[in-house]
Amino acid sequence: MRFARFFTTIAVAAVSATCVAEPVQEESASVPPPESKPEDQSLPLGAARPEWRFQFEPSAWYAGASGKVRIAGAPAGTSTVRINDLHLDNPILTPSGELSVRTGNWRFGLGTFFFSQNRLQTMAVPGQLGSVTFAAGQQVNSKMEQDEYMPVVGYEFWRRDPESSDAVKVLGRLEAFGGARLDDVKFSFSQGAAAASQSEFFGQAIIGIKGSMDIAEQFSIDLETSVGGWPGSSDYAWSWDITVGFMWRPIPNVGIQAGYRNLVNELRRGNDSQEFYYNGGLAGLFFGAVVRF
């Protein structure tokens, strides 16, 4: 009899516990799961990026010319004429830009600029350019044009990702690249009724290195330099180019940039009285925008 009462008491307690527990289970089952937060669209510095990334950099280069020139038509041995004597050395806004595509460690890019300068100058020294001869005190109308296209392929061989211990997040990269420098150069001169001009196209192979540093996801510093050449006896070209740039991105995919570029080149074609010779360069500040997508 005592055992019957004991088991009856246990059964009643179990049923009571079950009845109390069931509403709790139903209540917890009715609670909706927490809403998932939308994924942050901006990636932290050093995070994995999309497989293909595009970057467009339209800019204006405040470039001034320097050097010396000689064009075909003058007798063999005629001296060159300096660019600053022709007053072609004044800086002028020059359209320029670069489009690049990056996938993994590889980058495919195309840079360009279109320089054009036209001046009327009273000459301080005598000289001859092609068939155009002039004396000191005479006015010479001069025009210089140089359009450049630079396709390159680069490979990122070193990368320093930001660490959690960094007080300021810094991402460093080094890239080696190679490609071509293609220059379309034209000089035109006139004095009175005499006029002469020459246009030449030069291609050369280039190699270079580019270093960049991204700071705090908004600021960047870039340093790029390249050398190129095309050896030949009557068709010769060489160049050296260095660019330093600073960029600020107020929003992740759009920024503004400014910097300095110096391009030096020597271009020569032909011999004796048919020789085209230009040894000089372009240099100056540049500024523009950066768009990534």
pLDDT per residue over 54-102, tens digit each?
999 999 999 999 999 999 999 999 999 999 999 999 999 999 999 999 9
Cα–Cα distance for residue pair 195/73, rounded to 1 Å: 11
The confidence score (pLDDT) of residue 37 equals: 40
- Coil vs helix vs strand at 161: coil
Q: Report the amino acid identity of residue 116.
A: S
Percent of the chain with pLDDT over 70: 83
pLDDT digits (tens, 9 = 90+) for 185-215: 999 999 999 999 999 999 999 999 999 999 9
Cα–Cα distance for residue pair 111/141, rounded to 1 Å: 30
- Coil vs helix vs strand at 217: coil
* Backbone φ and ψ of 173, nearest 5°: -145, 150
Cα–Cα distance for residue pair 277/185, rounded to 1 Å: 11
What does the block give as tokens for 40? Answer: 């942050």
Average pLDDT, the chain: 87
Q: Which residue has the tokens 């109308």?
A: 141
Q: Would the pTM count as exceeding 0.85? A: no
Strand spans (E) along the chain: 53-70, 81-82, 92-103, 106-122, 127-129, 132-134, 139-160, 170-191, 194-215, 219-230, 235-251, 254-269, 276-292
* Backbone φ and ψ of 239, nearest 5°: -155, 160
Q: Which domains does the chain have, with CATH numbers?
A: 53-292 (2.40.128.90)
Q: What's the whole-number mean pLDDT along residues 41-48? A: 53
The confidence score (pLDDT) of residue 252 equals: 86
Of residues 51 and 22, more confidence is placed in: 51
pLDDT digits (tens, 9 = 90+) for 139-182: 999 999 999 999 999 999 999 998 888 888 999 999 999 999 99
Cα–Cα distance for residue pair 257/244, rounded to 1 Å: 10
The confidence score (pLDDT) of residue 13 equals: 43
